[in-house]
Structure formats: C-alpha cells, structure tokens
C-alpha cells in the first residue's frame, strides 16, 4: 500500500487529491485546520493543525508518518496555501503577509525537511509534490506575496532535487503548476478589489467561459503524473505541458 500526507486536504484540490488517492487504494493522512468536511474512510487518518504555526510542523510530520505505518512508498503533498493578501505593495493588511509566507513557503520547507529526515530509513520510493503556481514566474500586480512565496517553493524544490541526486536512494521532488482550478481560491480572486488586482477581469472571464478545471479532473491528472515514470525527471513543471 502507498502512503500519502496531504496538506490543505479539507476542501478544493486537497480534498479532491485525498479522494483520488483513497480510490486508488492508498492510505492518506489528511492535514487541515478542520478536517471534519472529509467523509470517513478506513484508510483515511485526519490531523487538524494550523500549518502557519511553524513550531508544530516537525512533530506534525513525524506523527503523520507514524500514522501511515508500514507502506510500500511514502509521498508528501504540500497543497495548502493562500492567495491572500490580494493587495499591492504598500497596502498589505497587518499580519497578512506574514501569515501567507508562513503557510505558502515556510510550511512546505519545514515539512519537507522533517519528511526527508524521518523517512530516511524507508526502503521504498519517496516523493515530495509541492503544489505551486504559474504566478511563481509571472508577476501579477496585487499578488506580490503569493508570487514571491510560490517562486520560493519552486527554487527550494530545485535545490532539494539537486541534493537528492547525490544520495544512495534519491527522493523524487517536483514543484507542479496544476492549472486554473474551480476552487474557493478562485472565488476569492473574483471577489478582489480591481484597484488592488487589475487582472480580475481575466479571472472573471475564465469562470464565465467555463475554462476552469474541476478539482476532480485536476486531481486525477496530478495523481496519474505522480505515479508515472516521468515524475521527478524535471523539478518544476506545469501539468498542462504533459
């Protein structure tokens, strides 16, 4: 049986990934601030946690791996994230940038660090999948914190992959752009102040024109890639390029 830790698992893409992995016969530890929306499943373990509280993360990952037990492979999927604050530089709400950096960047780094350390003796395949965004390479006015944090995740993943190349049993690491998905985050974007986010009309049009991918379809494509022989060959990838 394959084992997975999925963050941001209670809604949107995270919930869809969790459902897909369970359908495929995996054992999943779902991590979110509130996992109660997830339906019960015999192979699902839930851990409620605030991933922006960095002090909790090493112990959280250790607990997650212990809950998975003996699995043929281990995979960490860092999916949790926020697009807030949607505000241009000079107009950040107090504390919003710090919260976003803690969730979008610090949490994936520290969870990866703990995953590499605590899974070192595992004899099977180990994978890290960091859900990133095209915003890592494209500057969007109003998304400076989101763009910067995703760019940081991408370069961290490149570095992790480079470090692993020199090990006896390399861990596979990928930072993936999943496309534009019809989640609550898209709703937040469409509700943004156009004065702070001038690209808002583009995202309004994507919804109106039916161009958003469903979470279930996105999750199916991501999981198929996760289990493919190509996973890990490129450390940063847009799934629409496959």
Q: How far apart are CA 38 and CA 58, in angstroms?
A: 24
Mean pLDDT of 123-127: 97
In the predicted model, is pLDDT for residue 7 greater than 90? yes
On the question of a cis peptide bond just before residue 85, with omega within 30 degrees of 0, the verdict is: yes
Tokens, residue 71: 């699995």
Instruction: Give residue 242's pLDDT.
Output: 87
Phi then psi for 18, rounded to 5 degrees?
-60, -45
Cβ pair 128, 115 in contact under 8 A: yes
Query: Residue 92 catalytic?
Result: no
Instruction: Give residue 127's pLDDT.
Output: 98
The reply to whether the predicted model has a pTM over 0.85 is: yes
**CA 13 to chain centroid:** 9
Segment 157-207, tens digit of pLDDT: 999 999 999 899 999 999 999 999 999 999 999 999 999 999 999 999 999
In the predicted model, is pLDDT for residue 210 greater than 90? yes
Catalytic residue from among 4, 140, 146, 177? 146
Phi then psi for 225, rounded to 5 degrees?
-70, -40
Mean pLDDT of 102-120: 98
Q: Domains plus CATH for the chain?
A: 2-183+214-241 (3.40.50.720)
What does the angle CA 15 – CA 21 – CA 23 come to, to the nearest 5 degrees? 100
Mean pLDDT computed over every residue of the chain: 97
Instruction: Give residue 53's pLDDT.
Output: 97
């Amino acid at each position: 049986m394959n084992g997975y830790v999925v963050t941001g698992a209670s809604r949107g893409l995270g919930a869809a990934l969790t459902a897909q992995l369970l359908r495929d016969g995996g054992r999943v530890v779902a991590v979110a601030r509130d996992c109660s929306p997830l339906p019960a499943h015999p192979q699902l373990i839930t851990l409620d946690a605030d991933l922006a509280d960095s002090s909790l993360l090493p112990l959280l990952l250790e607990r997650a791996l212990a809950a998975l037990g003996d699995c043929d492979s281990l995979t960490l999927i860092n999916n949790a994230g926020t697009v807030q604050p949607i505000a241009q530089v000079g107009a950040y709400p107090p504390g919003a940038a710090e919260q976003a950096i803690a969730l979008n960047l610090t949490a994936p780094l520290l969870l990866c660090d703990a995953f590499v350390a605590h899974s070192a003796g595992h004899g099977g395949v180990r994978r890290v999948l960091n859900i990133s965004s095209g915003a890592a390479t494209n500057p969007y006015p109003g998304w400076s914190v989101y763009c910067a944090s995703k760019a940081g995740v991408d370069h961290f993943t490149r570095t992790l992959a480079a470090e692993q190349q020199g090990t006896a049993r390399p861990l596979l690491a990928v930072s993936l752009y999943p496309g534009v998905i019809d989640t609550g985050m898209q709703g937040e974007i469409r509700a943004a102040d156009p004065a702070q986010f001038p690209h808002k009309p583009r995202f309004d049009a994507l919804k109106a024109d039916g161009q958003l991918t469903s979470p279930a379809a996105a999750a199916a494509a991501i999981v198929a890639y996760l289990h493919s022989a190509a996973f890990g060959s490129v450390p940063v990838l847009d799934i629409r390029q496959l």
